[in-house]
Amino acid sequence: MPLSDKAEKIRARKGKAPISALTAYDYATARLLDEEGVDLLLVGDSLGMVVLGFPDTTHVTIDHMIHHTAAVARGTKRALILGDLPINTYPDPGTAVANARRLVDAGAEAVKLEGGVRQAGKVSAIVADGIPVVGHLGMLPQRVNEEGGYKKKGRTDDETQAILEGALALQEAGVCAIVLESVLPKASRLLTEKLDVPSIGIGCGEGNCDGEIAVITDVIGSYPWFVPPFATQRADVAGEIKQAVKGYLNALGG
Ligand code: KIV
């Protein structure tokens, strides 16, 4: 099954110009990021924390994702819109396809799911249904409770080898790219070298992957209560909001 034009363009960027990717969860942010020329907008299940106030992504449902994917789609003209399949929505190939289709109906142009070898059959089924898929390996936020926190991956040769096996299985199943999260730089470089599809890194160090993805609230500084150590904050939107609200209250004599 050929990939859609946008997904194929992302896949074809391997080894060429770096892929830029950011998360977006609402119309206005999506529109701003799209107008600035970001290649890929991920409606990430990180919305569970930074938009909905849950402690982690394991509380996110397909209905949350549909609601936010539709808003992002309304604000996006050119970027590839990637929707996260949240936890428990891809237990088997049939359910995975049905839920991927619901995200596409809401406006997603590709879907992302977490995990390697055990997800390959589900990836093949979704791709066979005509929906491009992006993989997600390394630190898997949907498994944060089993893993006891957000930990770096690729710390040993065996761990790196296991990620590589997963990545090759996903590639064989037809993914158009793979997100690598919190994989140590040496392991990230090795995975990037071994793969024919682009790796898109977060917390993998600079220049070790074919592209970079970041959570928008980390980049603009609008969620100050938790910022991952690897994030580069480029604005202080939380500070600006507080200043603006102070000004508003002062003007009212409050
Ligand atoms: O949900 C998300 O924001 C993600 C990124 C961490 C890649 O999956």
Q: What pLDDT, in 10s, does the model give residues 102-117? A: 999 999 999 999 999 9
Mean pLDDT of 187-216: 98
Percent of the chain with pLDDT over 70: 98
* Domain contains 247: no
* Domain contains 116: yes
Q: Is 181 designated active site? A: yes
Give the list of residues 6+ apart from residue 230 with CB closer than 8 angstroms, or none: 182, 202, 203, 205
The pLDDT, as a whole number, for residue 126 is 98
Nearest residue CA, atom 4 of ligand 1? Answer: 44
pTM of the model as a whole: 0.97
Instruction: Spell out the SS3 assignment of the chain.
Output: CCCCHHHHHHHCCCCCCCEEEEECCCHHHHHHHHHCCCCEEEECCCHHHHCCCCCCHHHCCHHHHHHHHHHHHHHCCCCEEEEECCCCCCCCHHHHHHHHHHHHHHCCCEEEEECCHHHHHHHHHHHHCCCCEEEEEECCHHHHHHHCCCCCECCCHHHHHHHHHHHHHHHHHCCCEEEEECECHHHHHHHHHHCCCCEEEECCCCCCCCEEEECHHHHHCCCCCCCCCCCCCCCCHHHHHHHHHHHHHHHCCC
The pLDDT, as a whole number, for residue 140 is 97
Q: Which of 8, 36, 147, 181 is catalytic?
A: 181
What is the C-alpha separation between 214 and 211, in angstroms, rounded?
10
Flag whether pLDDT at 174 surpasses 70.
Answer: yes
Between the two ends of the chain, the Cα-to-Cα distance in Å is 62
Tally of domains in the chain: 1
Residue range(s) defining the domain that contains residue 133: 5-214
Mean pLDDT of 8-35: 97
The pLDDT, as a whole number, for residue 1 is 55
Nearest residue CA, atom 2 of ligand 1? Answer: 44
**Contact yes or no for 234/248 (Cβ under 8 A):** no
Flag whether pLDDT at 243 surpasses 90.
Answer: yes
* Domain contains 221: no
* Domain contains 95: yes
What is the C-alpha separation between 150 and 143, in angstroms, rounded?
9
Closest ligand 1 atom, residue 44 Cα: 1
The pLDDT, as a whole number, for residue 3 is 64
CATH code: domain of residue 11: 3.20.20.60
Mean pLDDT of 140-155: 94
The pLDDT, as a whole number, for residue 4 is 86
Q: Mind listing the pLDDT tens digit for each residue in 67-123?
A: 999 999 999 999 999 999 999 999 999 999 999 999 999 999 999 999 999 999 999
* Domain contains 238: no
Mean pLDDT of the chain: 97
* Domain contains 141: yes
Q: Which two tokens stand for residue 126?
A: 């979704």
Mean pLDDT of 11-30: 97
The pLDDT, as a whole number, for residue 130 is 97
Q: Which residues, judged by CB distance below 6 Å to any ligand atom, belong to the binding site of ligand 1?
A: 23, 42, 44-46, 84, 179, 181, 202, 213, 215
* Domain contains 252: no
* Domain contains 115: yes
Mean pLDDT of 9-25: 97
**Contact yes or no for 41/30 (Cβ under 8 A):** yes
Mean pLDDT of 214-219: 98
